[in-house]
Amino acid sequence: MKMKTLTTLALTSALVAGSAAADLVIPDLSYRTGPYAAGGTPFSDGYQDYFNLLNARDGGIGGETVRVVECETGYNTERGVECYESTKGEGALIYQPLSTGITYQLIPKTTADEIPLHTMGYGRTSAAAGEVFPWVFNYPANYWDAASVMVNYLLEQNDGSLEGKNIALLFHNSAYGKEPIRTLEELAEEHGFTFTQIAVDHPGQEQKSQWLQIRRERPDYVLMWGWGVMNQVAIQEAANVGFPMENFIGNWWAGAEHDVTPAGAASDGYLSLNMNRIDTSLPVFGQIDSMVHEAGNAAGDGSNIGSVLYTRGMYAAMLAAEAIAKAQEIHGVADVTPAMVRDGMEALEITNARMEELGMAQIGPEFSVSCENHGGSGLGIVQQWNAADAEWVALTDYISPQDALIDGLIAEDSTAFAAENNITPGCL
Amino acid sequence: MLYREAGDYKTSYEADSQTFPIAFDRYRYWFVLAVAFLVLPFLVNDYVVNALLLPFLIYSIAAIGLNILTGYTGQVSLGTGGFMAVGAYACYKLMTAFPDVNILIHVLLAGGITAIVGTLFGLPSLRIKGFYLAVATLAAQFFLVWLFNKVAWFYNYSASGQISAPERFVFGVAVTGPNTPAWASYLVCLVFVTFCALIARNLTRGALGRQWMAIRDMDIAAEIIGVNPLKAKLTAFAVSSFFVGISGALFFAVYLGAVEVGEAFGINKSFLVLFMIIIGGLGSIFGAFAGAAFLVTLPVFLKLIGVDLLGWPTDLVAHLQLVVVGLLIMFFLVKEPHGLAQLWRVAKEKLRLWPFPH
Amino acid sequence: MSEVQTGYVTEDGRQIGDVMLDLRAITLRFGGVEAIKNISFDIREGEIRAIIGPNGAGKSSMLNVISGFYVPQEGEVWFHGKKRPPVKPFQVARQGIARTFQNIALFEGMSVLDNIMTGRLNYTKSGMLAQAIWKGKAEREETENRERVERVIDFLEIQAIRKTPVGRLPYGLKKRVELARALAAEPKLLLLDEPMAGMNVEEKEDMSRFILDVNDEFGTTIALIEHDMGVVMDLSDRVVVMDYGKKIGDGTPDEVRNNQDVIDAYLGVAHDE
Amino acid sequence: MPADFYYGIEVVLNGLMAGVMYALVALGFVLIFKASGIFNFAQGVMALFAALTLVGIMEGQVPFAHLINATFGTEIHHFGWHVPALLAILLTVGVMVIFAWAVQRFLFRHLVGQEPIILFMATIGLAYFLEGVGDLMWGSNIKTLALGLPQGGARWIEDATAGLGGDDFYGFFIDKLDLVATLVAIVLVAGLIAFSQYTKHGRAMRAVADDHQAALSVGISLNFIWILVWSLAGFVALVAGVMWGAKSGVQFSLSLIALKALPVLMLGGFTSIPGAIVGGLIIGVGEKLFEFLVGPMVGGATENWFAYVLALLFLVFRPQGLFGEKIIERV
């Protein structure tokens, strides 16, 4: 009985909310609670603040105000489904689901509902194959790019040869953590280095065995695909066993301030990948501060502005806003539909000039999207933690992945997916 | 005045042992079924089905299964998540290996496979009791999750380690995959819920159910009056795992469509289902439904109030949600220690005497 | 060990049959403690056999040996002329031995009816699938069992509490329900462990009547442990007396009453030393 | 392979240390279970809450700042002072005592005489509640514990043992934090034993653990004892939270350390403090050694399930646990 009254309540409220949607609706599936809250909060702050800035500065996008609908997922797939279903009725234009589980969940759903999905540097790597996944975009880079960028960086450090080196991958024992294995195996064969896999079971609070193994085997480099508490513990344990931090590289989800600060000074020199640049002096931050924070429209308490994940959230919002602008340009209407936004994403072109114009010069690499390639350029930078100044310092410029290899792997996996699901690849 | 036994004389033992001995209950039961099968499919939308009904129905099956083991037989299990994973992966392997066989059969077979696995992990229950057994079932939970994560055969060697349900049809209507109409996935789950609830009810009111309850209430006395503890406990594990396996298969194939074992079937799932039957009421089929409804709908309900009505920040609401759920559990316990099902029974007893309580 | 090789006729004219259960030189130890020391006695078909003795004499342990719950270190149990191999308690129950317990062992979470129905478990032949579907054989069996149980309910005059959860019953009724559960199994041998403990005179009279009726109407062989000497002497055909795990007397109530060892050990309160 | 042999020993040593960390968590469970028969599901969350409170007090955070700001539109976060560690620890203990009192007063006092499953369930509610309150009070970002606990490998052990196993052996690695944890555990257990042996309240606590009715009849206040026990468990939770939090920062995942304690409890028995310690050591060594020897063959990450399987195997042969008394069944 009880259930039915609840259902009706939900029904009516969903209907009421749905009717109010006249502006550009951007759902923000955030996770400010649960085990990964420390990562979810700054990202969501950045994502929302940028749209709020657009509203305050430009009156929205193309004259249409943006309405951000935040929905808390707690990084939990079932709550993610609830969030998706409750927001899609409001005319959601683009989803940024943030968790691997929710992404896999939403790939078929958004495809059926014809709403574009942007999984920026996470999710299903082979979704870069736009002909198989027309509604899914994972630009500017994916995990396989990341693995390749890391190896290219190491090649650079070792005068072009990794022959005889021993590289270990410390990974979260889940779909996410296992992503780079295939790529690294291929690269190991190509460059002649030994590749060791070291799994850490969720949640990763206890990594003594793994780090004793690293201490015993003394790999030259340790790459890390970690998440949540695993990152903090790994960095602390690396310091404990005396593993040189400058030979320890995390991927871009293992390279935020909160990953390194718990270990204090011991984390100095730790490396991580990033898909965007960190630069607190970008004009856009000043604008956010004055036009969003001081106006009292900020999503968070302001303490995260300029941090790694805040910047990434803002970058993601910028990419979404640019795609919407592009869609408006292509279709000639301001009040775009999800399908139009998809077209905008597929025609997206990010140039240095445009980024400079937006007050975030060089924040990301230049790239353009096409029907065949939803994955962007795959470039990444290597940044290093300076514990004394408590800041990340970019060590390199954007490094390219080994495109031929990655493209081959993507083609292989997406073809298999297409076959399993009776999809005929093609452009929309 | 309608709700009473007086005047509703039973003239046969069959009539006396039926599921709902009171006429009004029977009408209500048929009414609920009729609404669920004939009316709701025309009313529901994506949101109601995917966010509320599917999780409610699927968790109900799991809760019925666990209730048979824990509520009726007294064997506390924390392996539910692992067994749901068995159901899900069995269903996935069957779906991809025999694409032409009906998905409904796959789901049933997945239940059967889970029953076998569950029976195997039930063997220690012959020697280990109480909380010790609960912790022992955690071995099953962690091992199974690790296994499905580690052995690539289970996920058909896919690069991501995720399993995705391919599209399958029943009577020409898609029931899995992205193009499933909301009403179809709802009906499939409803059919399985009805089927499982009926079986559970029949088993628990009959000889097997009495054996289970005898083991639960006093295992030594049960053995002396002729209950074979091995058989009773293992049948409970088997039947329970059968249901849990079905729920896992539906959870994967119909509800989520894509899962990763550690995230979807981790230890949290085991706890969640256990909480459901404890809150709903141990040893009660209705309790399984009540508990599932409570834990599935309450957070959504609180979110609606907090975020949509009051406009609070989402993280505050999420934190308050935990506080409120915790407080409600404690409040219920202090007021009615035996769960929602007991609350319901007390309400019925009062109703039966109404309007002359003395 | 038993002197009488064929049946005998009791004072009230009932014919007692052959030896049903024969316990031969049973010794039971818990760790270093000998609970039962080399005891032998038999129970004949149709007889009411009492086991008496002071607290801690090993009486309940003896019943547990018969039930198969304790496995004696030494000695043999013969049932219907055959030596019983080591068995599990539930197998003993299936051979037709039912019992009640000293500290009531009812299933507290179930109704009176369900408790008594558990006595019929050994008569349920339908499998799990049949029970899951309920229709057909399973339902027929259920109804047959229910009819049987209703007869027991009528017999023990507990119709009014049929649907009550046993947890709510007073002590005396619980004892009666426990007897009903044992009777529902239609046992050949019924073991009663202090069926009248804690009862008032009226309740004891009722219980005594039930025991006699069971023996009389169903021809059930009964072995009982009881402290009330009056009841024991009235009810039983033959009596075994135990003390500190040893048998100190065995015979008709009259014989036992006059046995000096028994008087010393048990009734010795009134006997001057 | 002498180096491998010494590395095996190193794994065992580190397993022992990890075992101490597990035992620290298990202790809290044992204290409450022994005195009141409650299986306290909230123990892990208590560790998180205690550690959060400690950091919050030290840093002068305003409790419930986010809630207050959202409700009244204010912008308060910090009091602007820093509390010295020792004082903060004392204050945190005070908070845990108040928590213990509240739990008795508002929850368990109303549940006297209920079955264990009901009490267990109440602690589930408590866990939800406390998790929510912890987040509301102190926020959900990762906090750094600045207690100055030593961390990192003990170099002198490494240097002293480096020569043992040839060139491929780098000496035994022992984390200084683990040494501190071991020391703390020894002091804690010794303190608990001394408390229960030599103080009036301690003896009362033991009496209650042995027999509620008898304890009541000699005039021991059950209410007081239970508040005492929950306070002690809160203190143990604080210690466990600090030790684990030193590695990972204080964050939500701290509450998951309870899962590491369950196999320990299974092995050691729910009622035995020595059991918790020995159980922890066995589990620690067992899972580390298994990962070292068998892990590489099956792809690693075996520790989570192996701890439980080890405990399970053990229980099959000894259902009463390591220190439990043999169960004699009677009817």
pLDDT reading at A14 higher than 80: no
| Contact with chain B for residue A89, Cβ under 8 A | yes
Of A141, A83, A88, A151, nearest to A116 by C-alpha is A88
Whether D and C touch, i.e. at least 3 CB pairs below 8 A, reads as yes
Q: Do B203 and C121 touch (CB under 8 A)?
A: no
Indicate which of B76, B137, B142 best probes the interface with D, i.e. most D CBs within 10 Å of its own CB: B142
Structure tokens at A57: 């500065």
The beta strand positions in A251-317, using DSSP E, are 271-274
Residue-wise pLDDT for A215-274, tens only, equals 999 999 999 999 999 999 999 999 999 999 999 999 999 999 999 999 999 999 999 999
| Contact with chain A for residue B264, Cβ under 8 A | yes
* CB-CB neighbors (< 8 A) of B84 in chain A: none
Q: Do B326 and D39 touch (CB under 8 A)?
A: no
* Cβ neighbours of B183 (radius 10 Å): 17
* Bridge partners of residue A225, in order along the sequence: A171
Q: Can you tell me the mean pLDDT for A99-128?
A: 92
* CB-CB neighbors (< 8 A) of C88 in chain B: 223, 228
What pLDDT does residue D164 have? 78
Q: Can you tell me the mean pLDDT for B35-47?
A: 90
Q: Which of A321-330, B326-335, D228-237 has the lowest mean pLDDT?
A: B326-335
Residue-wise pLDDT for A267-317, tens only, equals 999 999 999 999 999 999 999 999 999 988 888 888 889 999 999 999 999
B292, part of any domain? no
| Contact with chain D for residue C100, Cβ under 8 A | no
Number of structural domains, chain C? 1
* CB-CB neighbors (< 8 A) of B14 in chain C: 139, 143
CB-based contact D121:B279 (threshold 8 Å): yes
pLDDT reading at B210 higher than 50: yes
pLDDT reading at A396 higher than 70: yes
* Residue among B14, B199, B229 minimizing CB distance to C143: B14
Peptide bond into D63 cis (omega under 30): no
Nearest chain D CA: its distance from B138 CA (Å): 7
C115, part of any domain? yes
Beta-carbon pairs below 8 A across chains B and D: 130
CB-based contact D38:D32 (threshold 8 Å): yes
* DSSP assignment string, B76-96: ----HHHHHHHHHHHHHHHHH
Chain D's closest residue to B331, CA to CA, is: D107
Nearest chain C CA: its distance from D58 CA (Å): 52
C135, part of any domain? yes
B80, part of any domain? yes
What pLDDT does residue C267 have? 57
B43, part of any domain? yes
Most confident residue range from A371-375, B246-250, C21-25, D181-185: B246-250
D98 vs D172: CA distance, rounded Å: 44
Is residue A13 very low, low, confident or very high in pLDDT (cuts 50, 70, 90)? very low
* CB-CB neighbors (< 8 A) of B211 in chain C: 118, 121
A318 vs A276: CA distance, rounded Å: 12
Q: Do B313 and D315 touch (CB under 8 A)?
A: no
* CB-CB neighbors (< 8 A) of D321 in chain B: 132
Q: Which residue has the tokens 């009777």?
A: C183
| Contact with chain B for residue D129, Cβ under 8 A | yes
Residue span of the structural domain in which D149 resides: 2-317
Is residue B296 very low, low, confident or very high in pLDDT (cuts 50, 70, 90)? very high
* CB-CB neighbors (< 8 A) of A208 in chain D: 14, 17-18, 175, 288
Nearest chain B CA: its distance from C122 CA (Å): 7
The vertex-D284 CA angle with D280 and D288, nearest 5°, equals 170
Nearest chain A CA: its distance from B258 CA (Å): 5
3-class SS of residue C146: helix
Is residue A10 very low, low, confident or very high in pLDDT (cuts 50, 70, 90)? very low
* CB-CB neighbors (< 8 A) of D265 in chain B: 135
Q: Can you tell me the mean pLDDT for B291-301?
A: 91
pLDDT reading at A9 higher than 60: no
Helix (H) or strand (E) holding C233: helix C229-235
* Bridge partners of residue C49, in order along the sequence: C223, C238
C149 vs C166: CA distance, rounded Å: 16
Q: pTM for the full model?
A: 0.92
D322, part of any domain? no
C77 vs C83: CA distance, rounded Å: 6
CB-based contact D186:D178 (threshold 8 Å): no
Chain A's closest residue to B31, CA to CA, is: A1
Domain map (residue ranges) of chain A: 21-141+279-378+408-420, 143-274
B226, part of any domain? yes
* CB-CB neighbors (< 8 A) of D305 in chain B: 139, 142-143, 145-146
The fold for domain A143-274 equals: Rossmann fold (3.40.50)
Share of residues in chain D with pLDDT > 70 (%): 97
What pLDDT does residue C106 have? 94
Chain C's closest residue to B221, CA to CA, is: C105
Whether A and C touch, i.e. at least 3 CB pairs below 8 A, reads as no
Q: Can you tell me the mean pLDDT for D154-159?
A: 85
C26 vs C246: CA distance, rounded Å: 10
Of A173, A399, A68, nearest to B147 by C-alpha is A173
Chain D's closest residue to B271, CA to CA, is: D124
Residue-wise pLDDT for A177-217, tens only, equals 999 999 999 999 999 999 999 999 888 989 999 999 999 99
* DSSP assignment string, A97-115: --SHHHHHHHHHHHHHHT-
Structure tokens at A422: 């009776």
What pLDDT does residue B4 have? 58
Peptide bond into B55 cis (omega under 30): no
Nearest chain C CA: its distance from B128 CA (Å): 18
A345 vs A130: CA distance, rounded Å: 11
Residue span of the structural domain in which C134 resides: 105-186
The CA-atom distances, in angstroms, between C128 and each of B62, B306, C132, C142, D57 are 20, 48, 6, 13, 61
What pLDDT does residue A102 have? 92
Q: A328 Cβ partners below 8 Å, 6+ apart?
A: A61, A62, A334, A336, A340, A344
C165 vs A221: CA distance, rounded Å: 69
* CB-CB neighbors (< 8 A) of C99 in chain B: 224-225
Q: Subunits with at least 3 CB pairs below 8 A relative to chain A?
A: B, D
C142, part of any domain? yes
Q: Which residue has the tokens 């880079």?
A: A141
Q: Do D304 and A201 touch (CB under 8 A)?
A: yes
| Contact with chain B for residue C89, Cβ under 8 A | yes
Is residue D292 very low, low, confident or very high in pLDDT (cuts 50, 70, 90)? very high
CB-based contact C161:C86 (threshold 8 Å): no
B282 vs B288: CA distance, rounded Å: 8
B322 vs D140: CA distance, rounded Å: 13
* CB-CB neighbors (< 8 A) of A11 in chain B: 45, 47-48
Q: Do C131 and B14 touch (CB under 8 A)?
A: no
The CA-atom distances, in angstroms, between B137 and each of A364, B76, B181, B280, C191 are 49, 8, 37, 22, 38
C95 vs D239: CA distance, rounded Å: 59
The vertex-A97 CA angle with A91 and A100, nearest 5°, equals 150
Whether A and B touch, i.e. at least 3 CB pairs below 8 A, reads as yes
* Cβ neighbours of D264 (radius 10 Å): 30
> What average pLDDT does the structure give for chain A?
91
| Contact with chain B for residue C182, Cβ under 8 A | yes
Q: Which residue has the higher pLDDT, A9 or D105?
A: D105
Q: Do C121 and B17 touch (CB under 8 A)?
A: no
* CB-CB neighbors (< 8 A) of D166 in chain A: none
Q: Can you tell me the mean pLDDT for D267-290?
A: 91
Sheet holding C74-79, edge to edge: C33-44, C19-30, C74-79, C82-83
Q: Do B146 and D111 touch (CB under 8 A)?
A: no
What pLDDT does residue C21 have? 93
CB-based contact D18:D182 (threshold 8 Å): no
Beta-carbon pairs below 8 A across chains A and B: 142
Of D307, A228, A175, nearest to B149 by C-alpha is A175
Q: Do D256 and A209 touch (CB under 8 A)?
A: no
Structure tokens at A24: 């550009």
Q: Which residue has the higher pLDDT, B178 or C44?
A: C44
What pLDDT does residue A371 have? 93
* CB-CB neighbors (< 8 A) of D121 in chain B: 275, 278-279, 329, 333
Q: Can you tell me the mean pLDDT for B278-289?
A: 90
The beta strand positions in B75-223, using DSSP E, are 163-164, 169-170, 173-174
Q: Which residues of chain C have pLDDT under 70?
A: 1-6, 266-273
* CB-CB neighbors (< 8 A) of B229 in chain C: 90
Q: Can you tell me the mean pLDDT for A42-60?
A: 95
Nearest chain B CA: its distance from A263 CA (Å): 27
Is residue D260 very low, low, confident or very high in pLDDT (cuts 50, 70, 90)? confident
Is residue D319 very low, low, confident or very high in pLDDT (cuts 50, 70, 90)? confident
Q: Subunits with at least 3 CB pairs below 8 A relative to chain B?
A: A, C, D
Chain B's closest residue to C69, CA to CA, is: B224
* Residue among A11, A17, A101 minimizing CB distance to B308: A17
Q: How many CA atoms lie within 13 A of D23 on its CB side?
A: 31
C226 vs C213: CA distance, rounded Å: 18
Structure tokens at B179: 């193009």
Q: Can you tell me the mean pLDDT for B290-309?
A: 90
What pLDDT does residue A5 have? 43
How do beta strands C48-52 and A367-368 pair? unpaired
pLDDT reading at B126 higher than 90: no
Residue span of the structural domain in which B148 resides: 39-267
Tell me what ipTM this predicted complex has: 0.90
What pLDDT does residue A359 have? 94
Residue-wise pLDDT for C252-264, tens only, equals 998 888 888 888 7
Burial C69-89 (b: 16+ CB within 10 A, else e): bbebeebebebeeeebeebbb
pLDDT reading at A2 higher than 80: no
Structure tokens at D43: 């123990």
CATH code of the region A21-141+279-378+408-420: 3.40.50.2300
Q: Do D121 and B143 touch (CB under 8 A)?
A: no
Residues 310-329 of D with CB under 8 A from C: 328
Residue C130: give its domain's CATH number: 3.40.50.300
Number of structural domains, chain B? 1
What pLDDT does residue D87 have? 95
What pLDDT does residue D320 have? 73
Indicate which of B70, B125, B127, B135 best probes the interface with D, i.e. most D CBs within 10 Å of its own CB: B135
The CA-atom distances, in angstroms, between D264 and each of D41, D222, D278 are 15, 28, 8
* Residue among B127, B142, B275 minimizing CB distance to D305: B142
Tell me A267's DSSP state: G
Is residue D329 very low, low, confident or very high in pLDDT (cuts 50, 70, 90)? low
Q: Can you tell me the mean pLDDT for B282-303?
A: 91
Number of structural domains, chain D? 1
Q: A213 Cβ partners below 8 Å, 6+ apart?
A: A198, D292
Q: Which residue has the higher pLDDT, B335 or D310?
A: D310
Of D60, D69, D58, D42, nearest to D133 by C-alpha is D42
What pLDDT does residue D326 have? 64
Structure tokens at B216: 């639960």
- Identity (one letter) of the amino acid at C10? T
Peptide bond into C165 cis (omega under 30): no
Residue-wise pLDDT for C58-103, tens only, equals 899 999 999 999 999 999 999 998 999 989 999 999 999 999 998 8
Residue-wise pLDDT for A151-178, tens only, equals 999 999 999 999 999 999 999 998 899 9
Q: Which residue has the higher pLDDT, A196 or B131?
A: A196
Q: Do C103 and D331 touch (CB under 8 A)?
A: yes
CB-based contact D61:D252 (threshold 8 Å): no
pLDDT reading at B7 higher than 70: no
